[in-house]
Structure formats: C-alpha cells, structure tokens
Structure 1
Amino acid sequence: MCLPRSAAKPLLRRTSITLFLLCAFVMLFAFVVGPTTRSTLSTVSSTTTAIPSSHCLLAGTHHNIAGTHQGSAYKKKWEMLSKNVRGSIPYLFFQDSEKFESKNNTECSLTNMFKLLDAGFFNYTEMLEIIKGVKEFNQPIIKSNRKLVASTNGGLHNPSCLVFNPHWGNDQAQDLRKKLNIPSLFGVQRPKSEEDIAFMTVLELGQLIKTKQITSEELTGIFLKRLKRYNPVLEAVVTYTEELAYKQAKEADELLAKGVYLGTSLFCLLRIWQSSSGGVCSGHGNNLFRNGLRMGPLHGIPYGLKDIIAVPHYKTTWGSRSFKNQVLNIEAWVYKRLKSAGAVLVAKLVTGSLAFDDIWFGGRTRNPWNIEEYSTGSSAGPAACTSAGMVPFAIGSETAGSITYPAARCGVTALRPTFGSVGRTGVMSISESLDKLGPFCRSAVDCTVVLDAIRGKDPDDLSSRNISLDDPFSVDIAKLTVGYLDDAEMEVVHVLRSKGVNMVPFKLNYSVDSVQGIMNFTMDVDMLSHFDEWQRSRQDDNYDAQDQWPVELRRAHMVPAVDYLQAQRARGKLIREVKESFTVDAFVGNATDWEKVCMGNLVGMPVIVVPTGFKMISDPPPLNHTRRRTTITTGIYSPPEHDHIGLALAMAYQSVTNHHKQRPPIDDLEPNDSIPNPPRATIPPRQLPG
C-alpha cells in the first residue's frame, strides 16, 4: 500500500519515537533483572530453543523441557530463571497476581492440549471437569484392563470380541423360525368394564377379537382414552398416533371380516387370501405375504413404541429437545414386523433424553405404583404405560439397564433378549455391540408371543441374526438345574422348586474386575461417535440433564483408541470366563444390580424381569390407607440363545402366583400429593466403586 507524501514524515517521526522507547524499555529490563538472570537466560538459551515471548507458551515451556531426555537439568535451570524473573517489571507487566498467572497458565496449557485432540471447542470449566473425570474414572479402568489383557505382547491371547462381519446381507438367510405351541384360550368372555379389558393379556384380548366380542377399532379407542387420561400424571407419552392407529385397526377388522386372522398358519392364510376378493388388505395383508412371515396372535392388538424407533410421518424425538421436531421417514424393522403381524400402533412412548434415564424434553416419567417416584429409564414410557394398563404391550430398548431398571421399578414383566435377536434398523443407536430391543408385557407368555413376532434377521443390521427360539411352552422344567444367587428372591426359588426344578446355590465366577468400566468405555465412546456433531455444535449445552450424557461424552474424548481396544479384549476375556462358569441351565438373581446389568449386556445374555411382590412405601412416609407400593422383582438369566429357558421358568412361576396381575393405584391421587424435586429415585451412577 502506498502512502501520500503528506503522511510519510509524521509516520517516520512516530516510528522513531516508538523505536527509542522500545530500546529504553529493554535497557531498563536489563538493569532491573540483573546479572544473575542475564546469565541464566544466556545459559538456557544456549541449551534450548528460544523461550517464546507469549506468556501462555512461556508458562508451559518448563513442561516441555522437563519431558526431554535431559529434562532434570533443563528443569533446574528453568526454575532458577523463573525465580529471578518473578517480580521483575516485565513479569508484573504481564500479570497482576500469581493467582491470575496460575489460572491463565493452566487454561492455556489445557487449551493447547485439547486442540491437539481436535477438541478445542470446550470451555475452561468443561476442561477442568474432563480432567477430573479422567483422573478419577478413566485411569483406574485403563490400568485394570492393561493388567488383564496387555501384559503379553503379540496379541496372541485375549483377542477382541469385536469381529467385523463383511456380509452385505443381500442373500436370503435360512429362516430358523420354529412354530411355537402357543396355548389356545377358550371361553374368554368380555369383561363389563373398560378397566378390566385394559388389564387383559395379549392372548386374552386376541381371543376377544377372534371371537368378535370386540373389534380392534373399539379396543384401540379404549387404550387411546386411557393414554390421554393418565399421561398428564405419568408424563409417559410423546406422540399419539391416533390417525394411524384407527387406520390399522380398521384394516385388522376388515381382514377378520373376510376370515383372515393373522395367527393362522401361513399355508391357510395363503388359501384364504387367494379365495378372497377385493383389496382391503393393501396394508397388513400385502406386507404379510410379501415378507412371507408366520406371525403370532397380535392381530388387532394395540401397542406402543419407545420414541427412538422411527415411524414414517411421525416425530421421532429421541426424547431430546435438540430433536423434538425431528421426523424420520424411515420404517424401523421392528415396526415393520409388528405391522405385518396386524398389531396397531397407538403411541410413541417416552424415552429418556437420547436414551438415558427418565428425563426428557417434556418432563419426567413417573412410576404408576407410586407417582412420587420416577420410573427410571431409559425405556420409561414403555414400562409406565404397560404397568398402568395404557397399552397391552410396548417395545423398549436396552444398552445398559434401560429395560431391566424401569421394568423392575414399574412392576411389569419384560424381556431383554439375546443380543442380535431383533433387528435395529431405524432405531437410534448408542452402541452397535450393546443395543437390544425387547418387549414390556403383562406376563412371560405375552413376552414370548411378542418376541416371536419381532425376532429375525434384519438385512440392514449386520449384528442381527436368525436366532432359533426353541419352544418355551414345551420345556420340561423338571429336567432343569437352576442356580440362585445370594440376592435372589427366595419366594421364586421355593416356587420353582415346588414345580420340580432342581434349585441349587450358585455363583458366577470371573476374574475381570473392570466390568463396569468396560461397559462405560464401550457405551460412551460408541455413543460419542454417533453424536459427535451434536457435541461439536454445542447442542449438549441444551441437554435436558447436564450431569448425564454431556459429562460422559466429554470424558469419552479422553479414551485413547488403544485403551478402547484393550477394553474389548477384556470383554472377550469376560465372555469366555462367564461361559465356563455358567454350569447351570439358568440362574435367578437381582435384575437391577449394576454389576450384573453390565456383565449381562457385555456378554449378550438374556434376562426376563418378573414381578415377585410388593412392600409398603417408606420414602415418603405412607399416607393413611394408601395403596401405593414399592415393587419387588427378580431376574431369570439364561445363556445367550437360550431365551426359551428363562421364559419357561418365568411362565412356571407366574402360573401359580398373581403378582404380575396386580394393578397400580394411579387413580389414588390426593389433593396434597407432591412431586419431589430433586427426585428420590435414580439409576446408580455409572462408575467404578471406590
């Protein structure tokens, strides 16, 4: 750029004055600092690179020096320099106090460190929070996993349990579906009250529809009415799919009018379809025959889906305010299966925000058995709505306790099936190696019916498989040996023993002591990979519960890839040891013990949660004549791909008990009822003990 002549002379004069003042400042610095410091500066300069003039970089230089192979000598010289410079005019020029210097030094150092990890978008408070989490949480897990699986070089032992499947899923896999001997019900009569209808099982409702004592449209209306009545109290529904529900119910009724009941064998259905006229079956019927599926007795039965499962033309919010207006025109695989079975979707039910706990953008879901408690999560809506008779069954999901915790809290029967049993296309993912879909129902029989309808190979989900489901109705439980843990509900043990089961004390042994840490590393890092953009765009600042995913996903940035893989190798070791230790056909134990939740999910083990009783509430103190209760449940665990064993045992237990038939007192709302804040009931923290 050229300057006019009139401006050149004043600029030259100003430049000369500036140079003069700069020289004077340097001379003053030399005089004040003194010969010792000048000597030290000279010594350090001769042995290291030049000290940066930026105070931020200057503060961190001694860390870099100390890290070299001559670190101790350099560190000593640096400390001498710092001692002499501290108190000089230039030092005071840069800093007003030691406190200000310390904070700025730390902030600059942390900022540079996070930039190296391509994570420089965190603010100073968040960086300190992450560092604290790394020290208290990450480091013990890393050390434990390294000790377990990384003491021998070469990778010849303890290989990772993660195996890449190169199969593209285009060919037709062999269908291993086996016909189940689902019991036939006779003489089922329609109750007089809608309340009684709402608490009937899937099989009982199916019999009412089949015998034309009630239509699917009428049944749909009953459950939509209950959803709208109790949702203001329970905060368990995100979206009513009313228009879709009545459309699907009408199709189910029209099919039945033509003699088509989607519980009939495929051969008979084909013959009925060929002989029928008209095209009223363009929805369910075409899907049924196009897919060639033999479905169970869900014809015309209403149900709900956890709102991480996509349904075209309806919001799929994932429970998060960041996505509360999101519409995914994707038809989830599990929704396709249920639609082909003739089931009727009446609502999208609450998931905790991004499938964590029970807090979502619209509130917090409550426990129907005690509305001053929360339901836990993240399958909060499916558990609460099934418990309250707002739907006959619902589909939830679990990565780490999201089926078992809310089922136990709300007192419903629920199944976490073997990993890979149910396809997950169209479902929000936390971790591909952990996520599972499963049913919340009134009974173990209903869980069997629903699982049979939704299981199978999903061509777009490489982890899903055609896992054979042996018939739980044909299991001779007298031939089974079942263990019970120290925390098992003994009533279950006594009942099963009275039914002829060989019940023995049992303990599952394994040497892996970082099970909970492996779960967290796997879940958090995988989750971060799925929501990286969400975090980087700082939408996590608007997350509905700041002490949940935001903290965990920030900490996940500090898990090195090598230690993530070491965790998977440790997971492989856990799987092998659990397999060797599983010397019984099944075992009974606490369904919500965090160690067992982590172990079961890492192994891919199925568990069915079964209500086993109730006790008086103690917190808050019970009201006079209150029917509110705390539910008691247990878990029946079986080896992977042996879901039928757990289901058969649960059926045997429920055949002589009635805990699963009890109804929660959601109508017992008194004028002075209060909702506690903060909540009294939360999921245990995801961290290692001690």
Structure 2
Amino acid sequence: MCRRTWLLHPTLFSSYLFHVQALLLVFVYGAAASSNQLLSEDRIIAPDFVALMDSGRVHSRNYSKCSGKSDDDSWCRGFRMLDADFFSYDKMLEIEKGAKEFNIPIIRSNRKLVASADGGLENPSSLVFSSAWNHDHAEEAPKRFSYPSLSGVERPKSDEDIAFMSILELGQLMKSKQITSKELARIFLDRLKRYGPVLESVVTITEELAYEQATHADELLAQGTYLGPLHGIPYGLKDIIAVPHYKTTWGSRSFKDQVLDIEAWVYKRLKSAGAVLLAKLVTGSLAYDDIWFGGRTRNPWNIEEYSTGSSAGPAACTSAGMVPFAIGSETAGSITYPAARCGVTALRPTFGTVGRTGVMSLSESLDKLGPFCRNAEDCAIVLDAIRGKDPDDLSSRNIPLSDPFAVDITKLNVGYLEDAEMDVVQKLQSKGVNMVPFKLNYTVDSAQGILNFTMDVDVLAHFDEWQRSGRDDDYEAQDQWPLELRRARVVPAVDYVQAQRARGKLIRDVRDSFKVDAFVGNATDWERVCVGNLVGMPVIVVPTGYKRISDNPSDSTRRRTTITTGIYAPPEHDHIALALAMAYQSVTDHHKQRPPIDDLGPGDSIPNPPRKTIPPRQLRG
C-alpha cells in the first residue's frame, strides 16, 4: 500500500467534507499603506491604534472594537475583512499576544517541515475528501467477540460490594435470578444521589427512564430473551451525548437548559444491547477540563483534588462505584487523563470505531467515544456493543477488530518506553509476552501545536456564533476556550492546511516506526497524548498501583495518588491493547481497589472540602 493510499485508507480520517468551512479562515494583520503600519519586532498592532482609541473611534469595553464605517486603520480593516470586528480592545491585545507567542512559532515550524519550492507533494494533507456516498460496500458487519462465561457467582451481602462488581459478574447474578435489573438500578441510583453532589460529577439523573428500561430488561429475561452481556446493566453517559426528553447541557451555562430530542447513535447501540441509562454525567464546559456550570468534579481517590479532563464525570462515577461503566469522549486527553487520575480502566478506541451522531463535536478528525469500566474485560464488552458504522457519521466505519478474548499474547512482540512501569513489563513477561525496549521515532517537532491548531480552529467553526454573540464572556473558565478560540480566529487558512500536511507526515513517521505489536508507557505524557490523537491510535489506561498523597495531613489517611500505565496499539488493533490489559489484570488486583470517598481515615482533614457533605453512615474498619 503506497503512502498516499494509506492516508486515504479508513484507518485514518476517510471523509473530511466537513473541514471545508475550517479552511476558509483568512487573516490579514494589516492592510497597511505605509511601512510604519507593518509588523514590527515587538508589536503587531498598528502604531496609530492607540490614537484611534483615544479619539473614540475604537472602544475598549463594548462588544465591537471598531465604531463607524469609515475607520481606515489597518487593524480594524484587517478584522473587518474577516467579518470579525466585534472584539473589544482588551481582546484584540490578547489575540495579538497569542498570535505572537503561540500561533506564529507553530506556523513557522510546520512551514519549515512541509513547505517547499516544488509544492511539497510528498506531504499531502491528511484531510482527504471522498465523493463516495456509501462506504459500506467494501465493509463487512463486525463479528462479535466471544465472551468468557462465569459460574458460581454469588450475590454479596452488601450493596457496596455489588456496586464494585464487573459487568460479567452482574450479568451472571441476573441470569441466575439472584438479582433483577430493577434492583441494580435502585442500588446505583442511590449511590449517584449519595456521592454525586459531593464529587460534583452528575448533571441529570434519568430515574424514570432507568426504571422503565430496567423493567423491560427484566421482562425480556423472564420471557427467555437475553440480549447479551449488557442486558440490564446500568450505566452513565457524558453530558455531550443527546438523549431525548433530557437536558444535554454540554457542561456550559450557555446551554444548561438545552434539550436535544435526538437519540445519539451510541445511546441507540447501548439501548439495543439492553443497557439501562441512569444518569447524564459531568463534562467540563464545552468538553474542556473538569470545570462546569455546577462546579468542578473531584477525584474519588483524593477528594481534595479534581478529576481533570472533560470526561471527569464518567471517570469519577465509575471509580466511585456509582455506575458499572460510563461512556466518555476524547479529543485531546479527555479519556486518558481522568481515567489515570481516578484510577479506572478506560479505552480510547481507534478513530472512527464508534459513531458520533448526536454528540457535541469539537473536531471531527479527533473526536472519539470510549468506555470507562472496572476492568479491561468490561471495556471489550462495551466496545463490542457500541462499535460499527453510523450511517450519519462519515468518519465511522465497520473496523474489522479481532476478538481480544482470543488473542495469543505469547506470539506478541511488545515494546516498552523509557517511562514505562517496569512492574507492568515484568508482569507481562511472566505471562509469556516478549517485551523489548522501544522508542517511537518521528521527525515532526510540532505535534502539540498541530493538535492545538486543528482542534481550536475546528471548535471555533462549531462555536462561531457563540463567540460572536459574546457568550464566551460567560464561560466558566476564561483561560480555557475563550482564550484559545480568540487566538484561533487569526489562524490563516494556508497555515491550517500546512498543519494538516505536517500531521500527514507525522502519521507516516509513526507508522514506519511502529515495529512492534504494541507498546507500554506513561498514559498521560502530553506529547504522546497529542501524537496518539493525531494518528488515531488506540490506548487503554490501566491502574498499576497507588502511593501516598504528598503533604498528607495524617499518617493514617486512606487517600491515595493513583499510578497508571498506557498500552498503545496501531490503529485498528484495539484488540491487542485489550488482550494485554486483560493479561496484566489477570495477575494483579489494582483495578479491584475501592476509593475512600467517605472513609478518609482517622485524623484526616481536607483544607478545601467539597461544598456538599456525604450523609453519615457506619465507616468501614
């Protein structure tokens, strides 16, 4: 397969019709008539700008910087050419600073890498248009995995123990008639109500829907109809995923009353598998970090700190035993970071594995949906239910994944990076895996900048009117999207495309360097997060240990800092990462540990306590 063909292959970004609007961005720093209005070493704003402001023709605080239609300064004319002369003076200064300190270094780095006198034909853009209306003709429906069977599973005496059972264990309890789906719904709804306000991790509890779906699951089972391992299993959805008749807030004050009467594709898949929706879980505002209109989501393992990443709600709720599993999303670290912080197993699948219709979009070539679970087995089960072609998502595909439960790991060559946890390496070696030192080599030195350019411009295309109307001033964290999207307004179209050409080169470099079946390393290294998302490769985050928190107030505190690792595989080889994670967890129990949400230990105290307190109950010994 030639390199250009490989870029066209569905593994990487097959249909990018939707990026046309992003490529229309053009910015002119000045339509200057004289040299003193051109860019200087220290300033981008034309030197007569302050005089215009003093004269009243430029306003510093109102919605529009330039007043009147006769303004002839280069700054106003440049922004007017973009139809973007609505920024205040302070925001203009902020954009100037961002362009100088962030945009221009990335632009120059990418230009040096891929721009050449011959047109750089060896570095085509990774944004490839496809005129095909039907991609299914070359794809077969995915074959379902063969799940392990359990026997001898007995119902625990306490609801707490039930809350931390795996999907397969809960399913066996239902099939053996030791518990009903309705009982499970009640157990987990109680926990959502108890811990959700403390962790600030739940937006909407869908109680009526949950009991309706659980009752239906019980009725089907009584009639002898079993829909599979998710039959009757409760779960939660990140609140960027639309469910009819319930709010889909995107975590933002701007949209906190929004109801989208759309059935998201992933919700349809889970509903058809018999799963029971309990709640819409917190997303950071507009899917950025862990701050939302209702607060900031906390880490169950140390409730003084926060969950990080926009899938904070799914991670925290799964970690705390409030749901058996949850669906989150990642554009740039929002599965990997909260999973690592909260100590849960989570999968960021190959790009295009899971359809995204009905899900708030940030970047169509980066957004991915994935599961947060108790263990890797559960991740495989959930992935099997939600993967497959979504007819309304041009990037989704029937990826031919092999069965992770049937992988012979003794035939795998697995690399380990310098920052890999050596205990993980040794445990996998003990299972017969051939472990070898490994380094991922690539020549692109601007991966972080490429990701930020791509994501920020794409996000602004979606939230253009939101910014133009001034609603970004009400955003929950002003140093996040508002800052980045104002900076994105001045990314030139040419340099956006150059970033995509650099991305294509990065993809080829990584492909050529990937001489192993998988590799293990730090799950939260930012450069690796950027590279993985730009390439579309899968990674599973696995808990590998716990250590004492720094500056702990008591030697007897039960709060912990989680230790995790990432198992990475090439695109379309999620089954390899899953199989290795299952092998590791078969000889360890880190994934079975429970966070001390309401049992911090004697003498412990929190300087920055949650706004809500947990109702008192008997503490564990």
Q: TM-score range by the shorter chain?
A: 0.7 to 0.9
* 1:356 corresponds to: 288
User: Which residue pairs with 2:339 in the alignment?
Assistant: 407
C-alpha separation between the residues in 1 aligned to 2:55 and 2:79?
24
Provide the C-alpha distance between the structure 2 equivalents of 1:443 and 1:62, rounded to a whole number of angstroms. 58
Q: Which residue among 495, 516, 523 is the counterpart of 1:591?
A: 523
Structure 1 residue 647 and structure 2 residue 578: aligned? yes
Match of 1:85 in 2: none
Q: Which residue of 2 aligns with 1:675?
A: 608
Alignment of 1:177-188 (within 5 A): 177-188=142-153
Q: Which amino acid aligns with 1:144?
A: S
Return the alpha-carbon distance in structure 1 between the equivalents of residues 487 and 185 of structure 2. 45
Question: What are the within-5 Å matches in structure 2 for residues 47-446 of structure 1?
Answer: 64-66=33-35, 109-169=74-134, 174-263=139-228, 297-446=229-378
- Cross-structure match for 1:485: 417
Which structure 2 residues correspond to residues 612-651 of structure 1 after superposition, within 5 A? 612-618=544-550, 620-651=551-582
Aligned residue type for 1:662:
Q
The 1:311–1:169 alpha-carbon spacing in structure 2 relative to 1, beyond 3 Å, is: farther
Question: What is the alpha-carbon distance in structure 2 between the residues aligned to residue 471 and residue 362 of structure 1?
Answer: 41
Q: Tell me how far 1:154 sits from its aligned partner.
A: 3.1
Please give the secondary structure, in 1, of the residue aligned with 2:33.
helix
C-alpha change, 1:190 and 1:158, in structure 2 (3 Å) is same
**CA shift at 1:674, angstroms?**
2.9
The answer on whether the counterparts of 1:110 and 1:127 sit within 8 Å (CA) in structure 2 is: no
- Give yes or no for contact 2:140–2:398 (8 Å, CA) kept in 1: yes
1:107 Cα deviation from its structure 2 partner:
12
Q: CA deviation at 1:157?
A: 1.7
Question: What amino acid sits opposite 2:200 in the alignment?
Answer: E
Write the letter of the residue equivalent to 2:591: H
Aligned partner of 1:573: which letter? Answer: K
> Contact 1:206–1:299 (CA<8 Å) still a contact in 2?
yes
Aligned length, in residue pairs = 559
Higher relative contact order (CA 8 A, sep 6+): 2
Change (3 A) 1:376 1:471: same
Q: Secondary structure at the match of 1:451?
A: helix
CA contact (8 A) 2:200 2:294 kept: yes
Question: Residues of 2 paired with 1:257 and 1:522: CA distance?
Answer: 51
1:630–1:420 distance in 2 versus 1, CA, 3 Å: same
| Residue 117 (structure 1) shift | 2.0
Q: 1:530 aligns with which of 427, 444, 462?
A: 462
| Distance in structure 1 (CA, Å) of the matches to 2:407 and 2:255 | 45
- Output the amino acid matched with 1:457: K
- The two structures, once aligned, show a CA RMSD in angstroms of 2.6
Aligned counterparts of 1:355 and 1:259: Cα–Cα separation in 2 = 41
Cα deviations across residues 141-192 of structure 1 (Å, max 9, x unaligned)? Answer: 0001011111233352200111123233496774332232210000000000
- Cα deviation 1:533-552 (Å, max 9, x = unaligned): 10000100000000000000
**Ranges in structure 2 where 5+ consecutive residues have no aligned partner:** 1-28, 40-46, 611-621
Q: Are 1:359 and 1:545, in contact at CA under 8 Å, matched by a contact in 2?
A: yes
Q: Are the aligned partners of 1:167 and 1:462 in contact in 2 as well (CA < 8 Å)?
A: no
Q: Distance between the aligned counterparts of 2:593 and 2:510, measured in 1? A: 35
Supply the distance in 2 between the matched residues of 1:152 and 1:358 (Cα, whole angstroms). Answer: 45
Partner of 2:3: none
Instruction: Judge conservation of contact 2:556–2:604 (CA < 8 Å) in 1.
Output: no
Distance in 2 separating the partners of 1:171 and 1:482: 33
TM-score (norm 2): 0.86
**Given residue 577 of structure 1, which amino acid in structure 2 is its aligned partner?**
D
Q: Which amino acid aligns with 2:332?
A: A
Tell me which residue corresponds to 1:476: 408
1:254 Cα deviation after fit:
0.3
Partner SS state of residue 365, structure 2: coil
Native 8 Å contact 2:31 2:78 kept in 1:
no
TM-score between the two structures when normalised by the length of structure 1: 0.78
Selected match of 1:518 from 434, 450, 454: 450
Counterparts of 1:114 and 1:61 in 2: how far apart (Å)? 9
- 1:174-228 per-position Cα deviation (integer Å, ceiling 9, x unaligned): 4332232210000000000000000000000000011110000000000000000
Q: Distance in 2 between matches of 1:62 and 1:461?
A: 41
Query: Which range moved further: 121-130 or 108-117?
Result: 108-117
- Report the Cα distance in structure 2 between the residues aligned to 1:187 and 1:671, rounded to whole angstroms: 39
Note if contact 1:416-1:436 (Cα within 8 Å) is conserved in structure 2.
yes
Specify the code of the residue in structure 1 equivalent to 2:329: S
Aligned match for 2:395, one of 448, 463, 468? 463
Higher helix fraction: Structure 1 or Structure 2? 1
Q: For 1:199 and 1:617, how far apart are their aligned partners in 2? A: 23
Query: Which residues of 2 match residues 520-599 of structure 1 at below 5 A?
Result: 520-599=452-531
1:27-67 C-alpha deviation (Å, 9 max, x unpaired): xxxxxxxxxxxxxxxxxxxxxxxxxxxxxxxxx99952228
Amino acid at match of 1:656: V
The Cα of 1:95 is off from its aligned counterpart by 7.8
SS of the residue corresponding to residue 395 of structure 1 reads strand
Partners of 2:72 and 2:320 in 1: CA distance: 52
Taking the aligned partners of 2:311 and 2:138, their CA distance within structure 1 comes to 31
Letter in 2 for 1:675: N
SS of residue in 2 equivalent to 1:354: helix
Which letter does structure 1 place at the counterpart of 2:315? A
User: What percent of counterpart residues are identical?
Assistant: 77
Moved more, 161-170 or 148-157: 161-170
**Which residue is equivalent to 1:46?**
none
**8 Å contact kept, 2:30–2:75:** no
**CA distance in 1 between partners of 2:408 and 2:578 (Å):** 12
Letter in structure 2 aligned against 1:503: M
Could you list the per-position Cα deviations for residues 253-296 of structure 1 after superposition, in whole angstroms to 9, with x for gaps in the alignment?
00001011112xxxxxxxxxxxxxxxxxxxxxxxxxxxxxxxxx
Q: Please tell me whether residue 663 in structure 1 is matched to residue 582 in structure 2.
A: no
Letter in 2 for 1:541: D
